[in-house]
């Protein structure tokens, strides 16, 4: 459950899988009822893989779930009435081909839906439904990714569980291809920019802790943490375990995956990072003590 995940070795597969998740995310953003902080657009990592929530079928016939089944290596569209379609994810099947098949299945099972094929938060610009560049899909590499992501998601869920303020579920974000939990203080905050994503996703005081499998900015899998808004001196916190560090290029605290998976107790090391990041962030950001203490289980969530 804590495999090696060398980003440069599996990057072509990672990019293909990332592009597939964008198709699911764009369908969620289009069909789900809007929520604060764009929560309606977030996906979930389940025991099958990446999934949307139950999306209203455009024709009013029920609900649709669109998923990437990383156990059987298929994309699927399932209707609440029982109909389903499956599209194999094979080593040489392009993102464009899979996208077109998924959209055809959505429209056949649930009715017409508008779809913006422009990829987001990535370095490539070719539309998803015309993307024949990304076609590398190595099932064994996806297996390792899914095992690592599942372990990371379990840590994030345990970190979130006792908090008594508003929080998100463990979100699977398709733009940045990461897993994340946000805990909120209940106070508003000025977004760092006025573009659509920032002004909607970051309009509240929060501490975010998450995990990614590596990207172009930081070519290693890692847990990360940041606070918004972050006061002066936020980059001088001392987090646990000792391998945790501030990365000025990313602008976040990081704990490399290799430092986690080689620890005597990987889950405990990752959880210590998440909790210390939140504890120290609350202190420097002046969150109410009772709210901050609840993340450490004080008082316990169940008595």
Mean pLDDT, to the nearest integer, of 11-26? Answer: 98
In a domain, residue 299? The reply is no
What pLDDT does residue 81 have?
Answer: 98
Write out the chain in H/E/C secondary structure: CCCCCCHHHHHHHHHHHHHHHHHHHHHHHHHCCCCHHHHHHCEEECCCEEECCCEECCCCCCEEEEEEECCCCEEEEEECCCCEEEEECCCCCCHHHHHHHHHHHHHHHHCCCCCCCCCCCCCCCCCHHHCCCCCCCCHHHHHHHHHHHHHHHHHHHHHHCCCCCCECCCEEECCCCEEEEEEEEEEECCCCCCCHHHHHHCCEEEEEEEEECCCCCCCCCEEEEEEECCCCCHHHCCCCCCCCEEECCCCEEEEEHHHHHCCCCHHHHHHHHHHHHHHHHHHHHCCCHHHHHHCCCCCCCCC
Tell me how many domains the chain contains.
2
What pLDDT does residue 122 have?
Answer: 96
What pLDDT does residue 14 have?
Answer: 98
> What percent of the chain lies above the pLDDT cut of 90?
99
Q: Give yes or no: residues 114 and 163 share one domain.
A: no
Confidence category of residue 115, pLDDT binned at 50, 70, 90: very high
Mean pLDDT, to the nearest integer, of 232-253? Answer: 96
Confidence category of residue 98, pLDDT binned at 50, 70, 90: very high
In a domain, residue 302? The reply is no
Q: Give yes or no: residues 166 and 85 share one domain.
A: no
Q: Give yes or no: residues 102 and 219 share one domain.
A: no
Q: Give yes or no: residues 118 and 160 share one domain.
A: no
In a domain, residue 300? The reply is no
Mean pLDDT, to the nearest integer, of 48-71? Answer: 98
In a domain, residue 249? The reply is yes
Q: Give yes or no: residues 122 and 173 share one domain.
A: no
Range of the domain at 72: 7-130
In a domain, residue 1? The reply is no
Q: Give yes or no: residues 273 and 198 share one domain.
A: yes
Domain ends where: 130, 161, 180?
130
Domain ends where: 97, 130, 163?
130
Q: Give yes or no: residues 60 and 178 share one domain.
A: no
């Amino acid at each position: 459950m804590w495999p090696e995940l060398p980003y440069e070795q599996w990057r072509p597969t990672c990019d293909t899988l990332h592009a597939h998740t964008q198709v699911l995310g764009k369908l969620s953003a289009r069909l789900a009822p809007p929520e604060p902080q764009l929560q309606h657009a977030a996906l979930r990592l389940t025991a099958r893989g990446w999934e949307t929530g139950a999306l209203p079928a455009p024709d009013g016939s029920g609900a649709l779930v669109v998923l990437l089944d990383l156990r059987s290596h298929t994309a699927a569209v399932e209707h609440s009435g029982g109909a389903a379609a499956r599209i194999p994810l094979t080593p040489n099947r392009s993102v464009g081909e899979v996208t077109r098949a998924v959209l055809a299945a959505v429209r056949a099972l649930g009715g017409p839906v508008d779809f913006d094929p422009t990829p987001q938060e990535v370095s490539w610009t070719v539309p998803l439904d015309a993307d024949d560049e990304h076609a590398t899909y190595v099932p064994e590499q996806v297996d390792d990714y899914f095992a690592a992501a599942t372990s990371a998601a379990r840590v994030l869920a345990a970190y979130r569980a006792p908090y008594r303020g508003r929080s998100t579920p463990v979100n699977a974000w398709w733009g940045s291809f990461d897993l994340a939990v946000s805990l909120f203080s209940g106070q508003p905050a000025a977004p760092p920019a006025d573009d659509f994503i920032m002004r909607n996703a970051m309009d509240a005081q929060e501490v975010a802790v998450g995990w990614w499998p590596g990207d172009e900015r930081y070519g290693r899998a890692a847990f990360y943490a940041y606070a918004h808004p972050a006061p002066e001196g936020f980059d001088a916190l001392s987090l646990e375990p000792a391998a945790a560090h501030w990365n000025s290029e990313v602008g976040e605290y990081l704990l490399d995956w290799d430092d986690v998976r080689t620890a005597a107790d990987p889950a405990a090391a990752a959880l210590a990072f998440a909790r210390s990041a939140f504890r120290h962030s609350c202190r420097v950001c002046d969150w109410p003590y009772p709210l901050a203490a609840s993340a450490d289980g004080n008082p316990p969530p169940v008595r």
